[in-house]
Structure 1
Amino acid sequence: MRKFLLKRLLFILFGVVAYILTKYAQNHQDWAERYSRSVYPMLSNTVGFLPSLVEFSISEWLVVVVLLFLILYIVYYVRKVIISKGARRMIVYRGVMGTAAICSVIYFCFTVLSGLNYHRYSFLSYTEYHEENYSEEELVKLCKSLAHEMGQAREKSGEDNDLMLQAPDDFDYYAQQSVLSIQTLAKKYPILERSLYSTPKPVVMSKLMSRAGIQGVFVPFTFESDINVDMPVFMMPAAMAHELAHQGGFMHEDEANFISYLACREQDDPLILYSGLFLAFDHSISVLKKVDSDKASEIISSLSKRVQHDMVQREQYWGKYKGIISNISSIVNDAYLKANNQTDGLNSYDKMVNLLLAEQRGLEKYN
């Protein structure tokens, strides 16, 4: 009994250490930033190297294995409790302690491989822009500017091109280009420089991701960016760049969105540019709707027919997957974000607009 307890406590200590590190990072942003710029790159290169050598998502199947293990683990202890004639409390105790030990190790790995990055400096602190208060006029100007650029990029991608469709080799092409986009952007913002950016991976169970309302996910345990290949193809480049921003150590969703937008602008490919602009416009017009719905409707109606068609198709695609799974996913994601220094939860994604407005004001100032 004592030997069992000591073994489990040893593993549970990992969870205690992770908790202490997280609390320290929350109160010492300078330390968190130093960790993100020194220890994290080494860990990411070490852990991510082997998974980067294969084209399929290791993390996707790792999740399946872990879930099966947990189910078998629970079934094993429930069965032992049922068939045991005595010492049931001890069996329950051992099961609970084992679960706590597993969760502690997972929590520790998450903390050192990405969790501490939630408490680092903002990406904006490495740019010439500053986040301030912005007027409604500036927001309207931003939406109009993005709408205009979207129309131009969409026209270059081909008026007859159905952006809901995807050719078999599209994913590999955009995966490679997304890494190139981030690397090119890193020349302007060296904080994004990494010796290894693992190429985004397609997810076999993408329809399940669609049911959960998920475009992509960064898995820190393998440093893979897993992408939903079932969604409209014009959304993929921005989703890939977003997850690569997480790989680069920026975990806040608004910052990952902003980095994705900037990275997509580094490309000449019209669809990649369109993807980044679509992402930025989608969040900007969403914020404007809350401020002035009439002005937002006016800007949307001014969009080209092809852009409006893409927006309708996008809404129809995600609309058919709305249900219990997507609702549960939203609740879980909201709780996860709030637990990781993003108090706005799912609304954190829309905070990207503040960064876009900071860029707009900055460009106007320097030009």
Structure 2
Amino acid sequence: MKKFLSKRLLFILPGVVAYILNKYAQNHLDWAEQYSRSVYLMLSNAVGFLPSLVKFSVSEWLVVLVLLFLLLYIVYYVRKVIISKGTRRMVVYRSVMGIVAMCSMIYFCFTVLSGLNYHRYSFLSYTEYHEENYSEEELEKLCKSLADDMGLVREKLGEDTDLLVQAPDDFDYYAQHSVLSIQMLAKKYPILERSLYSTPKPVVMSKLMSRAGIQGNFCPFTLESNINVDMPVFMIPAAMTHELAHQCGFMHEDEASFISYLACKQQDEPMILYSGLFLAFDHSISVLEKVDSDKALEIMDSLSKTVQHDIVQHEQYWGKYEGIISNISIIVNDAYLKANNQTDGVNSYDEMVNLLLAEEKYKLSSTP
């Protein structure tokens, strides 16, 4: 009994250490920032090196193996409880302690490879932009500006181009260019520099991601950016750069989306640029709809027919997957974000608009 407890205690201690580190980082942002810029970079490069050498998603199959292991673990201990007689309580205790030990190790690994980054400085602190309160008029101007830019870029893609269709070789092309986009942005903002950018990976079970309402996912245990390849192609480049922003150590969703938008704007390639603009417009018009639905509708009506068609395809695609799985996914994601220093939960995605307005204000103030 003592031997069993001592062994399990060794695996439970890392969870305790991770909890203490999280609490310390929450109250010492300077320390958290220093960690993100030093220890995190070294650990993430070491962990992400081997997975970066293959084109398939290691984390996708890691999830499958973990689920299979848990199933076998439960079956094994249920069987032991049934066949045991006088030691059933000990068997149950062992099984529960085993789960606790595993969760402890997972929590520790998550903390050192991702969790502490939630407490670092804002990305804006490394830019020329300053987040401020904005007016309804400024929000409306932002939406109109993004709408105009979207229309111009969409013309370059061709009116007859169906952006719901994806050619087989598109993914590798956009994966390489998404990394290039981040690298180009890193020249302006060195805080995004890292020696290893793991190229985004396609997910085989993308249909399941769609049912959960997920465009992409960053796995801190393999440092991979996993992308839903089933969704419309014009959403993929922005999803890639969003997950790469997480890879660079910026975990807050609004900041990752803002970095994604800035990265997509580094390229002249129409699809990548359009993807970033679409992401920014989608969040901005969503916020304007809550403030003034009539103005939002007016801007939507002013969009070109091709852009309107893309928006309809976007809504129809995600609409067909709405259901129990997507609702559960939203609840889980909301709880996860709130547990990691994002008090607004899933609503934090729309807070990207504050950062877009900060950029817009800076551009206006710097224009002669």
TM over 0.5: yes
**RMSD of equivalent CA atoms:** 0.5
- Cα offset, 1:103, TM superposition: 0.3
- What is the DSSP-based 3-state SS (H/G/I as helix, E as strand, rest coil) of the residue aligned with 2:204? coil
Corresponding residue for residue 99 of structure 1? 99
* Deviation of 1:75 (Å): 1.2
Q: In structure 2, give the amino acid aligned to 1:17.
A: V
Matched, 1:295 2:295: yes
Separation of aligned partners in 1, 2:102 and 2:68: 14
C-alpha displacement of 1:365: 1.1
User: Partners of 1:82 and 1:155 in 2: how far apart?
Assistant: 68
Residue 324 (structure 1) aligns with: 324
Q: 2:272 maps to which residue?
A: 272
Give the distance between the partners of 1:324 and 1:44, measured in 2 at CA.
Answer: 35
**SS where residue 218 of structure 1 aligns?**
strand
Q: Which amino acid aligns with 1:327?
A: N
Secondary structure of the corresponding residue to residue 225 of structure 2: strand
- 1:61 has 2:95 as partner: no
Match of 1:314 in 2: 314
Q: 2:186 matched to which residue of 1?
A: 186
Deviation at 1:316, TM superposition (A): 0.6
2:2 matched residue in structure 1: 2
Report the TM-score, using the length of structure 1 for normalisation: 1.00
Partner of 1:356: 356
Match of 2:221 in 1: 221
Indicate the residue corresponding to 2:343 in structure 1: 343
Deviations 1:150-207 (A, max 9, x none): 0001100111110000000000000000000000000000000011100000000000
> 1:71, CA displacement in angstroms?
1.1
Q: Partners in 1 of 2:185 and 2:158 — Cα distance?
A: 26
Deviation for aligned residue 1:364: 0.9
Which structure 1 residue ranges, 4+ long, deviate > 2 Å from structure 2? none
2:226 is paired with a residue whose SS is strand
**1:111 equivalenced with 2:115 (yes/no):** no
Give CA deviations for 1:116-136 in whole Å, capped at 9, x if unaligned.
000000000000111111111
Map 1:132-143 to 2 at 5 A: 132-143=132-143
Aligned to 2:248: 248
2-structure distance, mates of 1:316, 1:290: 21
- TM-score under structure 2 normalisation? 0.99
| SS of residue in 1 equivalent to 2:38 | helix
SS in 2 for 1:268: coil
What residue in structure 1 maps to residue 79 of structure 2?
A: 79
Q: Secondary structure at the match of 1:164?
A: coil
CA distance in 2, matches of 1:83, 1:319: 49
C-alpha distance in 2 between matches for 1:91 and 1:66: 22
How far apart, in 2, do the equivalents of 1:24 and 1:78 lie? 39
CA distance in 2, matches of 1:4, 1:366: 66
Separation of aligned partners in 2, 1:363 and 1:46: 39
Q: Which residue of 2 aligns with 1:231?
A: 231
Q: Which runs of 5+ in 1 are unaligned?
A: none
Q: CA deviation at 1:78?
A: 1.2
Question: Which residue of 2 is the match for residue 12 of structure 1?
Answer: 12
CA distance in 2, matches of 1:334, 1:20: 23
Aligned length: 367
Alpha-carbon separation, structure 2, partners of 1:109 and 1:360: 38
The whole-number CA distance in structure 2 between the counterparts of 1:273 and 1:202 is 21
1:74 Cα offset (Å): 1.1
Q: Structure 2: how far apart are the matches of 1:59 and 1:287?
A: 34
Offset, 1:323? 0.7
Q: In structure 2, what is the equivalent of residue 210 of structure 1?
A: 210
Q: What SS does structure 2 have at the residue aligned with 1:279?
A: helix
Identity %: 83
Quote the Cα distance in structure 2 between the aligned partners of 1:55 and 1:158: 31
Q: Which residue of 1 aligns with 2:263?
A: 263
CA distance in 1, matches of 2:153, 2:254: 23
One-letter amino acid of the counterpart of residue 321, structure 1: Y
Distance 1:97 1:246 in 2: 32
Matched letter for residue 77 of structure 1? Y
TM-superposition CA deviations, 1:247-304 (whole Å, max 9, x none): 0000000000000000000000001000000000000000000100000000000000
The offset of 1:363, in angstroms, is 1.1
In 1, distance between residues paired with 2:335 and 2:253?
14
* Superposed displacement of residue 27, structure 1: 0.5
| Structure 2 residue matching 1:217: 3-state secondary structure | strand
Unaligned runs of 5+ in 2: none
2-structure distance, mates of 1:349, 1:23: 24
Name the counterpart of 2:29: 29
